[in-house]
Structure 1
Amino acid sequence: MDNLNEIKLSKEDLFALSSDVRASLLKLIDKKSYTLTELSYELGLSKSTVHQHIAQLIHSEFIEADESRKWHPYTLTIKAKRILHPDNRYKIILLLGATFCTAAFGGIMISIYFKGFMYQGSAHIQKDPLFFLIGESLLFVTLYLLYRAFSILKTDNNSYQKEDKY
């Protein structure tokens, strides 16, 4: 299996993930950065209880605190992101497949416009601008899909380059 797709978990990691409270913490922090007070409020638990769970998650390297800021907001590590979002590679494959299809159909529509076509019983070649507009639109969709695929790939690669130890 490719090293980028492997997620190595120890007994401590499995213990950290086995708690419903810690799982809820990971899901909350996945949405945005939270401080201890915010997490305590969101979960309806005391700060000391949340702090114990956070300490376990930090020890297992699932979250990290931004020590440079006053209130130390917690964010997910790459390890946690890979556990919570394992399917980004499949998104890229689907986006590239859709990109190929839209590019092909866009090219076909534009070529139909330039070649023209004849209605049955007509002697003149017709050029319908609707084919050109549809083809152009599909090519713009192709560019957008390529942009989305590469932005997901870039995000994944940046994440993997930050931490090579997994």
Structure 2
Amino acid sequence: MNKKKLIIPFILLIVLLIPFGMSYFSFQSQQISNQGEKEFTTRLEKAISQGSAFKLSEITPFDWDRVYVFKPYTTKSDMEKITAVSWNTRHTYVGYLLDRTFLGEYPLDDDSLNKLVFMKDGKVVLDVTFNRATADFTGMKETWYDKDIWLGSEEGNHVVIFRP
């Protein structure tokens, strides 16, 4: 009789742990390190402040083959549909869980924000959000495959796109 009483809580524990384990595995598989974010941001700000045109490929300290530009108010779901990849930049499981709720659905919830997502071989290598006062990429089309994207400074510190 005692064995039967122990089996029910054990089964309930297993039933509760399976979804948690699957969710944690999803967190681990979607997590990106965002290595090079600070260096890229520093290089970009320096290049913009110099006021002359520069190639985006010259200031990226990592290898990439595609960059996506997301404008203000783009939802996380839309970003994942456009890139065909799910990713997260959170370092904690709790942060990941919050991102999966309505709290994380709108990472660009202000007119002043835009995001660049760099990819290599179908995987996200860098996800960086900029204040448009620092770098305004809203004039770009959403996807660029060309590493020779030229950026220039115009009207203060706003970035505009042009090609040679």
Q: Which has the higher strand share?
A: 2
Determine which structure has greater relative contact order: mean sequence separation of CA pairs < 8 Å that are 6+ residues apart, divided by chain length: 2
Greater C-alpha radius of gyration = 1
Normalised TM-score (structure 2): 0.25
Normalised TM-score (structure 1): 0.25
